[in-house]
Amino acid sequence: MITINIENNEDKVLIQEQPSATPQQNENQQEKEIQFQKVLEIVRKSDSNYFKYPPDLDLAQLHKQAYYLCPNQEIINKYQFNTCPCCNKTINKNKFNWITSDFYEQMTDEYGIAVPLYFTLIKFQVIIFIIVFCIYGIIFMKTVHQLCDPSKVQLQEQCDDYFSDYCKMCEFRDNYHFIDIVSLQKYFSNEADNNEKNYFEFAAFFVFFINLHLPFLYDLLVSYIEIKYWSREPCRRQTETKHSIYVRHLQNKMQPNEIFDLIKRCVEKHPNQDIASQSDKLVDPLFKEIIYIYDVEQLIKFASIREAVLIEIIQNIQNYSKYCLQKDFAQQINCQTKLENNLTLLEDINNKIQKETGNVQLNQLTADSLKDIDSLQFSKKAIIHFADKQVFSLVHSNFKRTFFQDLKIKLKFIVHPKLSDKIAVKKSYRINGLFWNHLGAKSMDRVIQKCKSIVIMIFACAILMVAYELIYLYVNDPDFQTNKASGKLTTGEKAATNIFTILVPIITTSAILAVIINQKKAQKSTFAHQERGFMHFLIVVNYLLVTFVPYLFTFELWNGKEKPAAIYNLISLTQNKLITKHIFHLFHIRFISSLLRTRKALKNYLQYFQGQLNQLITPPFFPQRSRNCNALYSITIGLCLIYVCPLITLICFFFNLFMYFFDRYTTTHIYAIDKRFTIILMRHQIKVYSIAFYPIKIYLFVKLFWDYEWLIYAGLPLCVSISLLNIIFRKQIINFILLTILKMEKSDSNQNKQETYSENYLNYLKSIYCYYCLKIQKQTKPTKLLGKY
């Protein structure tokens, strides 16, 4: 029988000998006693806080608070730690007011300017809303009030043919101050005085001009903030991509002198004489570091399985002790059987890990010893960091080939040195957000996962579009509207409408989640590549097509401009989407899933090691990608629909104000800041969004103001021409404004030590926690022992 005695605050596992047991059985029982005792000793004396058991809930909460900008002072004051014991993350003990404090001063050095810039963009959009509403919205609503005076309506309770236009124009006057845009334009053209008419045309032109030039204004603002904090922005301090290349298809782990000889021969034999003539620049020391990348997917899998087995062993030991005290012999036998099975499984897992790692102890690896690992599977990939930038440029230009050059080589249209044709070379990735496990995976596995992700994305996009657009076409079709108004809809049509209405949000949400999940499984090389995939899908499909394809249906299929009810339905649809998106962000899936996961983990904390519990209750990252899209979407809606319904602009204005204060609180008290989302990603997101919505902005303006000749034939070409010039010569114009006129400077700072690829890769290998198994097995060689902790 197994019991657990507590002497001197130490757990001991004892196996009572059975009276009828043979000497061999007693010897086996004593061996199990040593094994069980070893498990508890490993847990109790582990030099890694990750494997502490039972986990300390206070330490877990301290780890959680370390990720907040405004941590709970009561929790952090219980300990005299300046950093988290498990992850060494600095605990913010400075007082920080989430309403009035400067986010740039608090976040820039560690996280960059992406999050503070998000709040600056919202403030900028609030100012834009105020300006366009004061210039266009007020005159619009004032005119609606004059034309649709309630006293006039009371006098014309029965609208005859003479007043049909009037009644048509004011049919929806009580809804958002909406009015028929055609009738309003007729009023300004025929009845209003010239000053009023000219002002209305100028106001519409001004709104269109601002809307079309928002990308340039965003770029100017972002560049200004970026230059202002240039020396403090982390992604500007890291310059590894300017000196490094990523190499694939290496046949073996070549020594530095072999790589040097290969590069020199390739450069000397390059067909381009300008490159070949510079081979004399290749002199030692050529390399700053060479990082050989290993495939550790199996190792990660084995380590995860072993952690689960060890936890189960500890829980079974505790359960066995409880059943012994209760004298429940059936449960004792059951627990003992589970323990023996777990020990067998653990020994098998340890043997597999031993086979994978050999005699290598990952916690004692150094940058020089990375190339000497023979037991881990080499992925035939490496990152080479050159000591000189000019040498990097020369080598990169030698190996760099475009798709068409590769095609010409394969078709034998051009001759290329065979030495350089064996390997594939490209500019290396940024350390921040690098997925080492994906880089080490087999190339074919990564290709399969990426193809699978693309297929699922196309399928999900099709479902998303069909779900939204078919229901819109079905419900808003003029014939359907006529039958609905006259009560001629059949029972089947009514049921189908209700079913579609319920299923659409379910189907679309499932499609979006399927894309997000499969994008994460696509094994992208970096966080930036993964985020760009999300951006392209969310912006093009979920924001652009889903929102504005109904406008094409309305204007092109049903001549919606002449039908106020059709445009009103569009505005109601867009408003509902806007409200739905903001409700989604109030209860974001990251926050809800993290809340449920944390509650479950704290309730069942004895099922985890300290490190596992810490990871489970770590705050979720602030969803900046979706927040940025939401902010850009709101100003696009506000400026595009102000032409027919200025009150929508006010709704967007208040939503922006609310999200500004709401997100200032959530980024300091609920979410952690993801330093991998850099200003470079934010720039890319704004650029993609601006390009995607550029044609729609022009289309809506042309459709709504086609009758105003000078706006279409003079104002429109002027706006488009200026905006295109701003896009083509964007860098030159912005540099002239900021660097020449405002005299700003990009002050580089080299005071902060840059992280190297070797340091980052070594930290990644240590995070697998496989070295404890080797250490324990080495210390207890005579017995068949358990694995790591």
Tell me: the pLDDT tens digits for 286-298? 888 888 888 888 8
Residue 533 Cα distances to 346, 523, 538, angstroms: 40, 12, 9
**489: confidence class by pLDDT, cuts 50, 70, 90:** low
> CA 667 to CA 18: how far, in whole Å?
61
Tokens at 190, concatenated: 């025929």
> CA 482 to CA 247: how far, in whole Å?
65
Q: What is the DSSP string of 628-666?
A: HHHHHHHHHHHHHSTTT-HHHHHHHHHHHHHHHHHHHHH
Q: Which of 576-580, 614-618, 717-721 has the lowest mean pLDDT?
A: 576-580
Residue 505: how many other CB atoms lie within 10 Å:
12
Burial of 167 (0-12, 13-18, 19+ CB in 10 A): middle
Would 406 be classed as within a structural domain? yes
Q: Examine the pLDDT at 523 and tell me if it is beyond 70.
A: yes
Tokens at 688, concatenated: 């993609």
Residue 184 Cα distances to 194, 202, 711, angstroms: 15, 15, 16
Average pLDDT over residues 36-40: 60
Tokens at 63, concatenated: 């780890």
Residue whose entry in the numeric block shows the structure tokens 């034998």: 412
Q: 11-24 pLDDT, tens per residue?
A: 444 444 444 455 65
Residue 340 Cα distances to 35, 36, 303, 312, 317, angstroms: 10, 10, 20, 12, 11
Tokens at 313, concatenated: 């062993």
Predicted local confidence at residue 488, as pLDDT: 56
Would 285 be classed as within a structural domain? yes
Contact 251, 377 (CB under 8 A): no
> CA 711 to CA 70: how far, in whole Å?
52
Closest C-alpha among 761, 776, 51 to residue 376 = 761
Contact 428, 240 (CB under 8 A): yes
Residue whose entry in the numeric block shows the structure tokens 């100028």: 202
Among 429, 448, 472, the domain-final residue is 429
Those residues whose C-beta lies under 8 Å from the C-beta of residue 425, and which sit 6 or more positions away, are 245, 246, 247, 248, 395, 396, 399, 400
Q: Examine the pLDDT at 409 and tell me if it is beyond 70.
A: no
Phi then psi for 175, rounded to 5 degrees? Answer: -105, 105
Residue 249 or residue 420, greater confidence: 249
Number of H helices, E strands in the chain: 36, 6
Would 393 be classed as within a structural domain? yes
- Report CA dihedral (698, 700, 706, 711) to the nearest 10 degrees: -50
Structural domain of 282: 240-296+376-429
- What DSSP character marks residue 384? E
**165: confidence class by pLDDT, cuts 50, 70, 90:** low
Would 404 be classed as within a structural domain? yes
Q: What is the DSSP string of 433-465?
A: TB-HHHHHS-HHHHHHHHHHHHHHHHHHHHHHH
**130: confidence class by pLDDT, cuts 50, 70, 90:** very high
Would 780 be classed as within a structural domain? no
Predicted local confidence at residue 222, as pLDDT: 92
Chain centroid to Cα 417, Å, comes to 41
> CA 627 to CA 650: how far, in whole Å?
19
Residue whose entry in the numeric block shows the structure tokens 């070949």: 276
Would 380 be classed as within a structural domain? yes
Average pLDDT over the chain reads: 76
> CA 286 to CA 384: how far, in whole Å?
10
Chain centroid to Cα 547, Å, comes to 22
Q: Examine the pLDDT at 472 and tell me if it is beyond 70.
A: no
Closest C-alpha among 700, 764, 680, 771 to residue 236 = 680
Would 267 be classed as within a structural domain? yes
pTM of the complete model beyond 0.85: no
Closest C-alpha among 29, 735, 59, 788 to residue 357 = 788
Identify which of 64-73, 217-226, 775-784 has the greatest average pLDDT: 217-226
Contact 448, 529 (CB under 8 A): no
> CA 624 to CA 114: how far, in whole Å?
9
> CA 408 to CA 141: how far, in whole Å?
64
Q: 339-368 pLDDT, tens per residue?
A: 888 888 888 888 888 787 776 777 777 777
Residue 478: how many other CB atoms lie within 10 Å:
14
Predicted local confidence at residue 656, as pLDDT: 92
Would 252 be classed as within a structural domain? yes
Q: Which amino acid is at 372?
A: D
Contact 289, 754 (CB under 8 A): no
**418: confidence class by pLDDT, cuts 50, 70, 90:** very low
Q: What is the DSSP string of 547-571?
A: HHHHHHIIIIIS-GGG-HHHHHHHH
Average pLDDT over residues 61-85: 82
Those residues whose C-beta lies under 8 Å from the C-beta of residue 20, and which sit 6 or more positions away, are none
Those residues whose C-beta lies under 8 Å from the C-beta of residue 382, and which sit 6 or more positions away, are 246, 247, 250, 253, 290, 291, 292, 293
Indicate which CATH number applies to the domain containing 285. 3.30.70.330
Predicted local confidence at residue 39, as pLDDT: 59
Q: How many domains would you assign to the chain?
A: 2
Those residues whose C-beta lies under 8 Å from the C-beta of residue 142, and which sit 6 or more positions away, are none
Q: Examine the pLDDT at 658 and tell me if it is beyond 90.
A: yes
Closest C-alpha among 448, 449, 406 to residue 426 = 406
Those residues whose C-beta lies under 8 Å from the C-beta of residue 383, and which sit 6 or more positions away, are 244, 245, 246, 247, 290, 291, 293, 428, 757
54 preceded by cis ω (within 30°)? yes
Predicted local confidence at residue 786, as pLDDT: 34
Q: 443-466 pLDDT, tens per residue?
A: 777 777 777 777 777 777 777 666
